[in-house]
Amino acid sequence: MPEVETIRRQLEPDLVGRTIEAVEVLDSYFSKPELPHVFEKAVEGREIVDVGRRGKYLILELADGNSVVIHLRMTGSLILVDPDGVENPGDARIYEADQGVKHLKARFSLDDGGELRFTDPRRFGRGFVADDKALEVYFDSRLGVEPLSPEFTVESMAAMTANRTGPLKSFLLNQKGVVGVGNIYADEALFRARIHPLTTGASLKPEHHKALRDGVVEALERGLDLGGASIDDYRDAKGEAGSMQNEFLVHRREGEDCPECGETIVRIVVGGRSTYFCPNCQVKLRKPPRRRRA
């Protein structure tokens, strides 16, 4: 989510008020199950009136009441190429890596001469067009509370986790409770909350509800402050990498020292996903963790 929000914030000032003159879908996977030309015709000639986000979905709201909804999944990128093209330092890097050509899946030509490009080496990203009503139905059936909204309270966390018998890590990844938490931020949030990833929601006590809520918020806000995490492919709308990956507390740090106690961070698989945690700080039992060194 920090990655999508970073892109949204960059795109908003440049895209609002722009008209999309032409759309070219170069890979039918992008618009699947809709045919490319149907997607193109639904978007061409429309003005963008807002750039929003819901969970990890980016939303280009059009003047005709429809919205272009784009999900980047893991490896999708949205790059805004300025009207003057080469002046943008990010552009040069994209051409250098041959990404803009090799993995270009869709392009949106703007009325100011600029272009929004969707690239995705793994072809998981998707885009579709929907009206307000359809979008509401779509999101309501899939997505829960926004983590950075006032609705994400300790009470809501308590209610969401109350009857959960599966691992909290899986709950965080499931977008029906709280949205926007992917594998990186789930690990970071659980560490901040000092909760073991295999802990069940039903076993949480009131202090844990607060710790987990705060952990999620803090992990996501840290990611936002750092412009997202660029482990592999992620780049922002200007083609620049984020720096969250340099400040992971536990994620992808197997064998390294816990930043809190110095214990060795371990990796396990939860729900088929790599999960990193500190076995000393994030205990399953109530036994207080021993402190080794700060």
Binding residues (CB under 7 A) for DNA: these are 29, 55-57, 71, 73-75, 102-103, 121-124, 142, 163-167, 170-171, 173-175, 182-184, 200-201, 231, 252, 271-274
Which is closer to DNA, CB of 13 or CB of 163? Answer: 163
Cis, bond preceding 33 (omega within 30 deg of 0): yes
74: number of Cβ within 10 Å: 15
The residue behind tokens 């949106």 is 108
Task: Give the ranges where 123-277 is alpha helix by DSSP (H).
Answer: 132-142, 154-161, 168-173, 183-193, 206-225
Q: How are beta strands 115-119 and 273-277 bridged, if at all? A: unpaired
Nearer to DNA, 3 or 91 (CB): 3
Q: How far is the CB of 264 from DNA (least distance, A)?
A: 17
Spatial separation of the C-alpha atoms in residues 77 and 172, rounded to whole Å: 24
Amino acid identity at 155: E
Query: C-beta of 124: minimal distance to DNA in Å?
Result: 5
Quote the CA–CA distance of 243 and 10 in Å, as a whole number. Answer: 16
Whichever of 108 and 139 has its CB closer to DNA, that residue is: 139
What minimum distance in Å lies between the beta carbon of 177 and DNA? 9
Nearer to DNA, 57 or 191 (CB): 57
- What the block records as the tokens of 103 is 């993995």
Closest separation between CB of residue 236 and DNA, Å? 16
- Please tell me the distance from the alpha carbon of residue 177 to that of residue 125, in angstroms, as a whole number: 22
> Of the two residues 74 and 130, which places its CB atom closer to DNA in the complex?
74
CB of 232 to DNA, least distance (A): 7
Residue among 20 and 216 whose Cβ is closer to DNA:
216
Report residue 5 as tokens.
Answer: 């929000």
How is residue 276 written in tokens?
A: 């990193």
- Asked if residue 131 lies in contact with residue 64, where contact means CB atoms within 8 angstroms, the answer is no
Place of tokens 């980047």: 72
What is the nearest approach in angstroms of DNA to the Cβ of residue 83? 30
